Structure 1
């Protein structure tokens, strides 16, 4: 018996040590230090007013029911420092201006993309994270910072799965929420800050509502962890967008049987000129601007209800209430149409070698233009770029993203969709299915297309948008088009120098390496630094404290494909071997492609 108690004691101590380590690293994530730049520079991509509209217009996300004033009042677990302090959130990679002050659009003085909204009939202001949080970039060089609006972000936003490494915004947020709720002194400070004069009458209700939000976060963290849904760590600037949307929409909201492993993280794409493309998303799977934006809002946390209070599937016009804000999504889309591609800042990053860039122009025409200069055609009164879709077995890049959207199937029969009703929705499937849709075995693309159609219709009716006005808000009268190909799109390369890392999964750190054979690319490199390399055109990749190591040997992270090397074309080889001097010339040209400096190049 004494031996049993000794073993039990050892087990309890071991569990306590493990729990203590998890709590410590969860509450103290391994983050890079934040050093404000000497000066933050803005390019002439759009007006300051457009920039503020883009940064702080809400889209309807609710971040697990978290209130805006709650978020701004949270403290770190083991200190009274404010969690939402700009200098702390900047350590996760969110963008702040060292000179920024609270404003009517940003009363809590939060980073780019953090805003608030109220639902109709409610006075609660919810924390709303917008597309600007993920599609605004910044480059640092010699103490200077350059804001690139519409470029990929480098933050660590999505995961709340606890790890000993830490470093995720979601994980750290859950730690602060839990510390606030379970530490009575913290909660008292929090409650007095949030409630003010309403403290006495609303303290109890605040604790109840706060616990409900915390429980939502904990449930997601537990579910994602014990099911192992996200085995490929996303790290800075990446998320498995389709996997997370599908798990939330079809797993959380319908049935646990619909959870699928999401092992295909992608970089956030850059947004300039996107409105001119015929298909968007890395795999060219979406067509209508409003549907794309509604899907993005649902993926970031907009509410979505499939069932009534009795658990019965909603029918008819009751499908499907959500918190998405169609007028605001349209405003964001209209603002993005004014966004110019970034132009190379010679005063910050160095002057252009024009003779070398002219040589690069000829090399671009020979090696790159066939894929990256798409034909333009007129459709419905606007010029549309018809992007080339490159099959996976041709481009040779990591196949997970393309394969998952084609292969993952979901059982949506609980929603009781009538095929005849679906045929009346403004949805077009490409290629056209040869057999009737099987609602118990539906692809993520098709399932999300119909969900989005119902959500969009309900949101339009709730917002009082007339049927005649919908075509304008949808964007050019386009249907909700869905295309399922095992392929990735080749987009125009204007401003590509400002969009590192490269390939759809961010597995190649610089353009120089992208023009090189795979054998010359980094197998592992550090992500999360904003320090720019203006020679190789990418972020610097050496080790730094708090950095994230991207291992390209992991499924979903492969840096294969898009190779210029000797050998037969196909299976990732897309062109002849480029000599180093040719790569340098191409890089010099890519700095000016599509910008005013291109017109100054000498004629060869």
Structure 2
């Protein structure tokens, strides 16, 4: 976005067109009020869904977490930074408000419209921010070594779900969230832009920020704040301009999806070292995966790319904007804001000391969602064993023998499974040039940089290879081998997708790795009978087909499966040769219903 000054009270504002049909409004903005109104129409997010809080919310006791554990998971920092905390709390929503103030961005009914789940105030969440937001303290003010309070996203932002049925909600810890991080990022950027270019809005913002930080409210302090805001906007504009110029993100992700490896790779390989040549098109969005049992899998990610829990979590934190030092004195290289200790503790809470003793998959809630037809489920058990169990190997945490036989994740090649290949192929073919000048594959590059970030933290804190050490608080901690989960930080890029055990599958809609099939029932149909277009963003549950409501609604995301990256092909039960996505014979209506009923019992 570019603002050209034309004199007092007058400006001419232009911006590049976006690939979304409407584009930006382009023209002359003559007053602050008109600038605010025009800026509010920028972007392609359209109207947001209205937020209707449920009448009741159930936390599932059978998931094996206490309320205190849930709150800690929801709001524990992994070391990421969106912006200074005082800015976030002071920011107004990007909507016209002349002559008064707009509501705050953190109002209780606004962030839930972007898919975030409300959360009560607590010691871990003093200002009552939604699940997935954490307050932390790190980061340097420009030109100084001062730290400041910042707000960042936690693991729970993408990995806490909620299903709702007739006014009653069921909280799914470790389940996929409905967050639309793209819309969140766009609206945050627009709110900052409007704050900078509206004198009344900036005056309110500055008063709140300086009051919250305890800095004297002087003209000099306000000017310093304005310069910081300009630097943040300039950095964002540069990043956004490159994304638009190179069409890096041509597939809108919408609610509940993110091209995590693609976008994360762009940040780690191109933004952190400021090397635009490492940017790559990210057009393979995936749904947020469920977390239960994942710490015990041999390989994780939809393409089975990562082996080590610590490497997985550090890569995730870096991908959502932790700060990493990649230049400067040798002793500073690879120092980061990543909260390695928190990441280990989070992983331990998820995993428990043995399979089945950490976070457990959620059982079907019959008193809310309806009773399971046990006779149909028993028939479905046989069909599932015959048709599905060869890939989705059943594994019940806590069952006899489960501790000595952790879950096996079957990898199925692209030709056999036939689902959209973008996510797997993009990662397998991507390369990047490291700051050393070495060109590597994406998997090798992420292995190298995550290993260096992890080892730098270990070195700085004096963590031994094995045994124990004592942290600054006096707590005895395990050594590197234990913190790494007893695994090497190995990465790979197979042209395949994983088939995990399906316990808790009812709570993870929509389906396939890219979220292109709205219900379990449609997963059992030939692909040409699945919905070509449906809407995402509603949490209203369909207990018959097992998925969310897919009907059009105001503010919903229109999911078009004809767009590459969004394909709903593959994983088909269709008569014919078993190849190119056909994995079994066409089923009768009774067989489909029986299998769906059985999957409710997992």
- The residue number in structure 2 matching 1:4 is none
More relative contact order in 1 or in 2 (CA 8 Å, sep 6+)? 1
- The residue number in structure 1 matching 2:256 is 237
Q: Does residue 149 of the first structure (1) align with residue 149 of the second (2)?
A: no
- The residue number in structure 1 matching 2:538 is 529
User: Aligned partners of 1:29 and 1:107: how far apart in 2?
Assistant: 31
Alignment of 1:534-573 (within 5 A): 534-573=543-582
User: Aligned partners of 1:14 and 1:283: how far apart in 2?
Assistant: 40
Alignment of 1:353-364 (within 5 A): 353-364=373-384
- The residue number in structure 2 matching 1:72 is 89
Residue 287 (structure 2) aligned to one of 267, 270, 283: 267
User: Aligned partners of 1:222 and 1:179: how far apart in 2?
Assistant: 18
User: Aligned partners of 1:74 and 1:22: how far apart in 2?
Assistant: 15
Q: Does residue 290 of the first structure (1) align with residue 343 of the second (2)?
A: no
- The residue number in structure 2 matching 1:117 is 136
CA 1:444–1:28: 2 relative to 1, 3 Å: closer
Alignment of 1:27-426 (within 5 A): 29-44=46-61, 45=63, 46-63=65-82, 66-77=83-94, 78-79=96-97, 80-97=102-119, 100=120, 102-119=121-138, 122-157=146-181, 159=182, 168-196=183-211, 198-201=215-218, 202-252=221-271, 253-308=273-328, 315=330, 318-337=332-351, 338-373=358-393, 383-412=405-434, 414-416=435-437
CA 1:114–1:467: 2 relative to 1, 3 Å: same
**Following TM superposition, by how much is the alpha carbon of 1:382 offset from its aligned partner in structure 2, in angstroms?**
5.7
CA contact (8 A) 2:419 2:570 kept: yes
Q: Does residue 471 of the first structure (1) align with residue 490 of the second (2)?
A: no
CA contact (8 A) 1:342 1:498 kept: yes
CA contact (8 A) 1:174 1:218 kept: no
Paired residue secondary structure (2:327) = coil
User: Aligned partners of 2:395 and 2:540: how far apart in 1?
Assistant: 35
User: Aligned partners of 1:237 and 1:17: how far apart in 2?
Assistant: 37
**Following TM superposition, by how much is the alpha carbon of 1:122 offset from its aligned partner in structure 2, in angstroms?**
4.6
Contiguous gaps of at least 5 residues in structure 2 = 1-11, 16-23, 30-34, 140-144, 352-357, 467-478
Listed one character per residue, the Cα deviations across residues 430-467 of structure 1 (whole Å, up to 9, x for unaligned) are xxxxxxxxx32x21111111111111111223344333
Alignment of 1:500-511 (within 5 A): 500-511=509-520
CA contact (8 A) 1:27 1:176 kept: no
Q: Does residue 443 of the first structure (1) align with residue 441 of the second (2)?
A: yes
**Following TM superposition, by how much is the alpha carbon of 1:335 offset from its aligned partner in structure 2, in angstroms?**
1.4
CA 1:14–1:208: 2 relative to 1, 3 Å: closer
Paired residue secondary structure (1:584) = helix
User: Aligned partners of 2:442 and 2:128: how far apart in 1?
Assistant: 37
**Following TM superposition, by how much is the alpha carbon of 1:473 offset from its aligned partner in structure 2, in angstroms?**
1.1
Listed one character per residue, the Cα deviations across residues 307-348 of structure 1 (whole Å, up to 9, x for unaligned) are 22xxxxx65x54312210100111111111221100111110
User: Aligned partners of 1:263 and 1:269: how far apart in 2?
Assistant: 18
Higher fraction of helix: 1
User: Aligned partners of 1:116 and 1:462: how far apart in 2?
Assistant: 24
**Following TM superposition, by how much is the alpha carbon of 1:183 offset from its aligned partner in structure 2, in angstroms?**
1.6
User: Aligned partners of 1:23 and 1:117: how far apart in 2?
Assistant: 30
CA contact (8 A) 1:286 1:481 kept: yes
**Following TM superposition, by how much is the alpha carbon of 1:195 offset from its aligned partner in structure 2, in angstroms?**
1.8
Listed one character per residue, the Cα deviations across residues 387-423 of structure 1 (whole Å, up to 9, x for unaligned) are 11000000000001111111122222x425xxxxxxx
CA RMSD of aligned residues (A): 2.5
User: TM-score, normalised to structure 2's length?
Assistant: 0.85
**Following TM superposition, by how much is the alpha carbon of 1:374 offset from its aligned partner in structure 2, in angstroms?**
6.2
User: Aligned partners of 1:550 and 1:48: how far apart in 2?
Assistant: 35
**Following TM superposition, by how much is the alpha carbon of 1:581 offset from its aligned partner in structure 2, in angstroms?**
0.7
Contiguous gaps of at least 5 residues in structure 1 = 1-8, 160-167, 309-313, 417-438, 594-604
CA contact (8 A) 2:408 2:500 kept: no
User: Aligned partners of 2:149 and 2:260: how far apart in 1?
Assistant: 26
User: Aligned partners of 1:335 and 1:404: how far apart in 2?
Assistant: 32
- The residue number in structure 2 matching 1:421 is none
**Following TM superposition, by how much is the alpha carbon of 1:155 offset from its aligned partner in structure 2, in angstroms?**
1.4
User: Aligned partners of 1:546 and 1:323: how far apart in 2?
Assistant: 36
CA contact (8 A) 1:276 1:383 kept: no
CA 1:579–1:104: 2 relative to 1, 3 Å: same
- The residue number in structure 2 matching 1:5 is none
